[in-house]
Structure 1
Amino acid sequence: MRWWLVNSGVGWMPFTFFNRYAKWCFVAFSAAGITLLSAVAGTHLWIEKVEFATESDPNCVKWEWDVEAERWGQSEMGGTDPSLGFMARFGIRSAWLEHHWTSPGTLKQVNPPFNRFGTLDDLAPIERRLETARNFLDGVLDIALPKESAGLLRPQTVTDIVIRRADISERMGTKAGLTEARSDLQRLWGRLPAKGPLASRIALKLGDLNFRLGDSDNALAWWARCIQMTTPSGGEFAQTALPLPAVPSSPPPSPAGQRTLASALVSLSAFYAMSGQLRQAQALEESALDLLRSVRSLDSSPSPASSPQALHALYILHRSSLISVHLAEVLYALKNPPAQSMKWLSQAAQSSEQIAFALAGLPLVHPKAPGSKIAHPPSPDAPLLPEYSKSPSMRKPAKSLLRDARRSATEAWNLLGVLHEGKGDIKSLQASLDCYERALGWAGVTPNGVHGNVKAGEGILEVEWKALWGSYNRVREALHMKKAIGESRK
């Protein structure tokens, strides 16, 4: 019987089954591996050819958006620098992918390693995607620095990578991350000539980082360097003690210089106001607003503005809006009549809304009443126009400007609501309620209105949202009570 089973082949059936199973597993895993490798290769090819492409729009070059574009060690023809080698180029693309395509909401936060940032705030959580992107760039620099010393890389390659690493460290939001970002940019400053748009932007960033780290003296010194480099007669400054930063008499001719100067003036305005130097803040803000108005007048022309020119004008207008908000707060702190602060806040709110509507391609007036002066409702979820979202140089600054315009509109309307609320009468309370409702609209209220499903929008902190929502409810209840008392007296 045993002989029959062996010769009939029945005894080999289990071996035949496992053999086929192994073959199918090999085929399945091979197909999965090939699919995964193809997906990775395709993703990296897309980043190399599309995301790292050079700017081809001459108007973007004319308005110098290309010099402010986020660079990841690209060559002149686009793509990563070939001299970096396969592993370093793969690391740059991986860092970009982790930084831009990984959603922070889908990953948990992790603690930075103790040997990275020291002991300043090692227990502070940071986003894993930022830590991973930073690790990729660390590995890239380990490869790139020896090659740069051997003269194998483009002069700009390592500079681009260090700037990106500093940007990611700053975005971590911890004191240690800010310190690391400042160290990177200070080392980079020693590699660059103290002139040109890149040097002025690094000086501005170093001023902001020192301000956030509590080093006011160094912050003022770096802002002074930035302003001096952007002024028409500034050029390369002397390596001596700098005077306190002051508003120049005329704007720089370069569009990139104008944008850098406008941002530096906003930083100075915030510094003087927050440090209690109110008279100094008022003088600087009034001079800065006059200067920025002259910048906008230079952009006016009878022909329709191109998208890069329009974005430049909107950028300058937004910085004027921020300084107007600062000036309103300073005037109120100096005990000036509230009407003066309300005038500046109204201008800031209207300008911020104009910027948000322009970037989203929406009209300023209500779509159901085009012939009236009824304002368009807040549109916190409206996307960017395609001419901005599809531009390699303008996509990021336009997206950031749209977010910041919505936020500054929220802040201006909220402060207007506070000033109206302080008067206490029914008319003022109604105006305050309208302002709070408008602020809630820009902060992220759904189209169903303030009584529907509400949530904070992009760029609005949860604590800010709760405070704004509480102010709206407080004024609404006070208004109802005032009206009820008025009706009972009739």
Structure 2
Amino acid sequence: MFRSESCTDSSGNQPTSWRKDATADQPMLIEDPFTQSTLFTLDFFKRLAKFSLMGVLALGITGWTAFEGLHMWVENVELACDQDSEVRRWEWDHEAEKWSGGDKGGTDIALGFKGRHAVRSAWIAENWGTGSGAIISRSNTFSGRGSQGTGSPDIIEARLEVAQTFMALAISIAESKVSSGKLRPQTMGELLARHASILERMGTRSALLQARPWYERVWVGLPAKGTDAARVALKLGDLDYRLGDFEDALAWWARTISLTQGTQQANLLAPELAQTIPSSPSAQRTLASTLVSLSAYYSTSGHLKQAQHVQESGLDLLRSIPSPSRISTASPPQALHSLFLLHRSSLLSIHLAEVLYALRAAPEHSIQWLTRAAESSERVALALAGLPFTHPDAPGSAIPHPPASEASLVPVYTKSPAMQKPAKSLLRDARRTAAEAWNLMGILREGEKDGAERALECYERALGWAGVAADRSGGIGEPGEGTPEAEWKILWNNYVRVREATRKQMEK
């Protein structure tokens, strides 16, 4: 009988061959390459989506903050009302653009979020542009009353097209809120006036036709008397003149004269000017501009005797308006007012010179009026640029300052919300008027015996005010800011023609 023995080793453990594997009952992890790749890809896209969402949110918040910040800047800075007492004394605040905010500036709160943003967007597009230069649009795009069927396109600045689109949206929103009674009484009129002004600046016939009813709505909503009504009447007169409706233009100009001078016109188709100086500075400027418009109509329509009467009476009236003895001693608003009237008188002087020439008066009479116009316009341009009237190399002499077509507007006007645009426009117009006066003088000098050299000097000065040299070695120049290409070509061709004739004469 065999004895059962304990099959143990010396340590008391069972032999290895008989021992159960300790890991036999535990699951074994099998590392599959395909599984690893799938998990990594899912994790990658999960993190990508997470960071993309965070980036989109951050970008959206940043963009919205920048967008709203831009609109707040326009609301509180660009559309702010000028609070300067001198500006208000000379009533430049009356003529400042109002974008529904009235005397407080900015926009009307009652327009709501969308309406106020539309108004600001219109201002941004008009003043800061849209990034592109021009768009092409059919002439009947706006009102359908343009030159239909012609197929001729109108070239319109993109910024004006975008601005008028936003203004149309703002007006639509304002009309829907009129019944609520929350809008300011002047809001609708201010929006209509701004929209009409943008359409007017487009310059196409279809745009002018649509601007006219807007101005008429503004006129209906204004009191029968006042400088605001006079300015709207002037705009309607100028608009009708551009559209060729001359009888309507005369009627509106007659109303403007009545409102500014406090008189009653017996015949709206034959406006009469009284020697009454308006007490309001704004009314004085409106009357001066009306005289220029009326003078231009009579001069170009063949009514030369009426034109001469308006021009001579208008010059007498403008000269009777008190002005500071020295522009440098006047306050900036007063100086700008005097310079404005001086420029309008220079325009009347040019018209009178042309009418006298057409009436076959001695050319010397026309040259005298053109000389006055050129000197007055140059004084306006130099004063606005902060330059002396005499030559800087000879301050004690009577030598005039050379043309300064590139000089910028003095900071006192660029920093004023109310005076910036009127001063900038006046500087541009004064340069163009000086160039026109010198050019016409050159034409008259050419008719004189041995007048080629004097004519050449006139043309050179006209070019100096109208443009800048492309190079400093006598090459062909370029039109300056505000000078149309067509005007520049006329001036340049006159100069080249006389220059060549003078050279040939010297060679002989």
TM-score band, normalised by shorter chain: over 0.9
Does 2:427 correspond to 1:402?
Answer: yes
Does 2:39 correspond to 1:12?
Answer: yes
Deviation of residue 300 (structure 1)?
4.7
Per mean C-alpha deviation after superposition, the further-off stretch among 252-261 and 30-39 is 30-39
> What is aligned with 1:252?
278
What is the alpha-carbon distance in structure 2 between the residues aligned to residue 450 and residue 103 of structure 1? 37
Q: Percent identity?
A: 50
Q: Is contact 2:442–2:455 with CA below 8 Å preserved after alignment?
A: yes
> What is aligned with 2:112?
85
What is the alpha-carbon distance in structure 1 between the residues aligned to residue 114 and residue 498 of structure 2? 60
Counterpart residue type for residue 313 of structure 1: S
What is the alpha-carbon distance in structure 1 between the residues aligned to residue 243 and residue 480 of structure 2? 28
Deviation of residue 216 (structure 1)?
0.9
Does 2:437 correspond to 1:412?
Answer: yes
Deviation of residue 244 (structure 1)?
1.6
Does 2:497 correspond to 1:474?
Answer: yes
Q: Is contact 1:112–1:126 with CA below 8 Å preserved after alignment?
A: no
> What is aligned with 2:488?
465
Distance 1:286 1:432, change over 3 A: same
What is the alpha-carbon distance in structure 2 between the residues aligned to residue 288 and residue 114 of structure 1? 39
Deviations 1:269-322 (A, max 9, x none): 000000011111111101110000011x35558992100000000000000000
Does 2:363 correspond to 1:338?
Answer: yes
What is the alpha-carbon distance in structure 2 between the residues aligned to residue 64 and residue 85 of structure 1? 30
Q: Is contact 1:5–1:11 with CA below 8 Å preserved after alignment?
A: no
> What is aligned with 2:344?
319
Deviations 1:110-134 (A, max 9, x none): 3159563204146323222212111
What is the alpha-carbon distance in structure 2 between the residues aligned to residue 146 and residue 227 of structure 1? 36
Aligned 1:189-268 pairs, distance under 5 A: 189-231=219-261, 233-234=262-263, 242=268, 244-268=270-294
Per mean C-alpha deviation after superposition, the further-off stretch among 76-85 and 449-458 is 449-458
SS at match of 1:218: helix
Per mean C-alpha deviation after superposition, the further-off stretch among 11-20 and 469-478 is 11-20
Q: CA RMSD in A?
A: 2.3
Counterpart residue type for residue 206 of structure 1: L
Q: Is contact 2:453–2:502 with CA below 8 Å preserved after alignment?
A: yes
Distance 1:112 1:35, change over 3 A: farther
* Number of positions where the alignment pairs a residue of Structure 1 with one of Structure 2: 477
SS at match of 1:188: helix
What is the alpha-carbon distance in structure 2 between the residues aligned to residue 27 and residue 132 of structure 1? 34
What is the alpha-carbon distance in structure 1 between the residues aligned to residue 376 and residue 200 of structure 2? 29
Counterpart residue type for residue 315 of structure 2: L
SS at match of 1:217: helix
Distance 1:259 1:443, change over 3 A: same
> What is aligned with 1:488?
none
Aligned 1:364-383 pairs, distance under 5 A: 364-383=389-408
What is the alpha-carbon distance in structure 1 between the residues aligned to residue 311 and residue 174 of structure 2? 44
Counterpart residue type for residue 335 of structure 1: R
Deviations 1:428-452 (A, max 9, x none): 2111111111111111113955714
What is the alpha-carbon distance in structure 2 between the residues aligned to residue 39 and residue 155 of structure 1? 32
Aligned 1:15-26 pairs, distance under 5 A: 15-26=42-53
Per mean C-alpha deviation after superposition, the further-off stretch among 279-288 and 31-40 is 31-40
Q: Is contact 2:142–2:207 with CA below 8 Å preserved after alignment?
A: no
SS at match of 2:356: helix
Per mean C-alpha deviation after superposition, the further-off stretch among 136-145 and 146-155 is 146-155
Deviation of residue 9 (structure 1)?
3.1
Deviation of residue 100 (structure 1)?
0.6
What TM-score, normalized to structure 2? 0.89
What TM-score, normalized to structure 1? 0.92
Per mean C-alpha deviation after superposition, the further-off stretch among 144-153 and 43-52 is 144-153
Aligned 1:30-429 pairs, distance under 5 A: 30-102=57-129, 106-111=132-137, 116-121=142-147, 123-231=153-261, 233-234=262-263, 242=268, 244-295=270-321, 297-300=322-325, 304-425=329-450, 428-429=451-452
SS at match of 1:423: coil
SS at match of 1:55: coil
Counterpart residue type for residue 154 of structure 1: R
Deviation of residue 19 (structure 1)?
2.8
Which runs of 5 or more structure 1 residues have no equivalent in the other structure?
486-490
Q: Is contact 1:88–1:143 with CA below 8 Å preserved after alignment?
A: yes
Counterpart residue type for residue 300 of structure 2: M
Q: Is contact 1:444–1:455 with CA below 8 Å preserved after alignment?
A: yes
Counterpart residue type for residue 273 of structure 1: S
What is the alpha-carbon distance in structure 2 between the residues aligned to residue 298 and residue 115 of structure 1? 47
What is the alpha-carbon distance in structure 2 between the residues aligned to residue 241 and residue 8 of structure 1? 98
Per mean C-alpha deviation after superposition, the further-off stretch among 430-439 and 302-311 is 302-311
What is the alpha-carbon distance in structure 1 between the residues aligned to residue 341 and residue 168 of structure 2? 35
What is the alpha-carbon distance in structure 2 between the residues aligned to residue 165 and residue 316 of structure 1? 28
Structure (1 or 2) with the greater helix fraction: 1
Deviation of residue 32 (structure 1)?
2.7
Counterpart residue type for residue 198 of structure 2: I
Distance 1:26 1:303, change over 3 A: closer
Distance 1:348 1:83, change over 3 A: same
Distance 1:206 1:457, change over 3 A: same
Counterpart residue type for residue 436 of structure 1: Y
Per mean C-alpha deviation after superposition, the further-off stretch among 153-162 and 36-45 is 36-45
What is the alpha-carbon distance in structure 1 between the residues aligned to residue 493 and residue 141 of structure 2? 43
Q: Is contact 2:356–2:366 with CA below 8 Å preserved after alignment?
A: yes
Q: Is contact 2:250–2:268 with CA below 8 Å preserved after alignment?
A: no
> What is aligned with 2:455?
432
